[in-house]
Structure 1
Amino acid sequence: MSLGGESWRWLLASSSIPAIAVVLLRIGVPESPRWLLSQGRVDQARAVVERLRGNVEAFEDLVRNHVSARRVRYRELFGKKYWRNTAFGTIFYNAQVVPYFAIYTFLPLVLLKMGVGEEDTTSDGLLNLFLLAGSLGGLWLVAKMSRRGLTIWSFVFLIATMAPMAIWPDAPTALLFPLFLVFTFTMSAAVNLDQVYPPELFPTDLRSSGVGLLNGLSRVGSAIGTFLLPLALDGIGFSPTMLILTLVLVGGLVVSLLWAPETKNSTMD
Structure 2
Amino acid sequence: MRGKHTRALWAATLGMFLDGFDLSILAIALLPLTQQWQPSPADVGTLMAMALLGSLVGGLAGGWVTDRFGRQRLLLPNVALYLLGALVSALSPDLGTLLLGRFITGLAIGLDYPLVATIVAEYSATASRGRGFAWVNLAWFGGAIFSTALGLALLSLGTDSWRWMLASAVVPALGLLWLRRRLPESPRWLLRQGRPEAAAHALRELEPALDGDALRDRLREFGVQRMPLAPLWQRRVWRRRLTLGILPWFCLDVVSLGIALYLPSVLRSTQVASSDTAAAGINLLFELVTAAAIVHILPRIDWVGRIPLQKKGFALMAAGLVIFALGVALPSVAVLFLGSTLYALGLGLGPAVTIFALAVEIFPTEWRASVAGLATSVSRLGAVFSAVLFPILEQHLGVPLLLTGVAAVAWLGRVITARFAVESSARSLEALEREALAAPKAEP
Task: Tell me which interval the TM-score lies in, with the shorter structure as reference length.
Answer: 0.7 to 0.9
Instruction: Report the counterpart of residue 435 of structure 2 in structure 1.
Output: none
Q: Structure 1 residue 205: deviation in Å?
A: 1.8
2:358 equivalent to 1:202:
no
Change over 3 Å in CA distance of 1:36–1:118 after alignment to 2: farther
Q: Structure 1 residue 241: deviation in Å?
A: 0.6
How do 1:28-67 residues align onto structure 2 when only pairs under 5 Å count? 28-53=182-207, 55-56=210-211, 57-64=213-220
Q: Structure 1 residue 207: deviation in Å?
A: 0.9
Q: Deviations over 1:178-197 (max 9, x none)?
A: 32123224324531224322
Q: CA-atom RMSD, angstroms?
A: 2.5
Q: Quick check: 2:184–2:205 contact (8 Å CA) kept in 1?
A: no
How do 1:207-218 residues align onto structure 2 when only pairs under 5 Å count? 207-218=368-379
- Measured in 1, the distance between the counterparts of 2:288 and 2:202 equals 33
Q: Quick check: 2:188–2:222 contact (8 Å CA) kept in 1?
A: no
- Aligned partner of 1:149 among 308, 320, 337: 308
Instruction: Report the counterpart of residue 389 of structure 2 in structure 1.
Output: 228
- Measured in 1, the distance between the counterparts of 2:285 and 2:233 equals 39
Report which stretch shifted further, 16-25 or 249-258.
Answer: 16-25
- Measured in 2, the distance between the counterparts of 1:187 and 1:194 equals 11
Q: Structure 1 residue 256: deviation in Å?
A: 1.0
Q: Quick check: 1:36–1:45 contact (8 Å CA) kept in 2?
A: yes
- Measured in 1, the distance between the counterparts of 2:417 and 2:410 equals 11
Amino acid at match of 2:159: G
- Aligned partner of 1:176 among 330, 336, 339: 336
Q: Quick check: 2:326–2:336 contact (8 Å CA) kept in 1?
A: no
Q: Structure 1 residue 165: deviation in Å?
A: 2.6
Identity of aligned residues (%): 27
Instruction: Report the counterpart of residue 108 of structure 1 in structure 2.
Output: 264
2:409 equivalent to 1:237:
no
Q: Quick check: 2:191–2:223 contact (8 Å CA) kept in 1?
A: no
Amino acid at match of 2:161: S
| TM-score (normalised: structure 2) | 0.55
Structure 1 unmatched runs, 5+ = none
Q: Structure 1 residue 120: deviation in Å?
A: 6.9
Amino acid at match of 2:314: F
Instruction: Report the counterpart of residue 288 of structure 2 in structure 1.
Output: 132
Instruction: Report the counterpart of residue 15 of structure 1 in structure 2.
Output: 169
Q: Structure 1 residue 115: deviation in Å?
A: 3.7
Amino acid at match of 1:195: F
Q: Quick check: 1:142–1:192 contact (8 Å CA) kept in 2?
A: no
- Aligned partner of 1:84 among 229, 232, 240: 240
Instruction: Report the counterpart of residue 347 of structure 2 in structure 1.
Output: 187
Instruction: Report the counterpart of residue 425 of structure 2 in structure 1.
Output: 264
Q: Deviations over 1:62-81 (max 9, x none)?
A: 43466586352267246423
Report which stretch shifted further, 56-65 or 238-247.
Answer: 56-65
- Measured in 2, the distance between the counterparts of 1:5 and 1:239 equals 31
Instruction: Report the counterpart of residue 58 of structure 2 in structure 1.
Output: none
Q: Structure 1 residue 146: deviation in Å?
A: 0.7
Change over 3 Å in CA distance of 1:55–1:224 after alignment to 2: farther
Change over 3 Å in CA distance of 1:143–1:156 after alignment to 2: same
Please state which structure has a larger fraction of its residues in helix: 2
Structure 2 unmatched runs, 5+ = 1-31, 33-155, 431-444
Instruction: Report the counterpart of residue 6 of structure 1 in structure 2.
Output: 160
- Measured in 2, the distance between the counterparts of 1:75 and 1:242 equals 39
SS in 1 for 2:426: coil
Q: Structure 1 residue 234: deviation in Å?
A: 0.6
The total of aligned residue pairs comes to 269
- Measured in 2, the distance between the counterparts of 1:187 and 1:66 equals 33
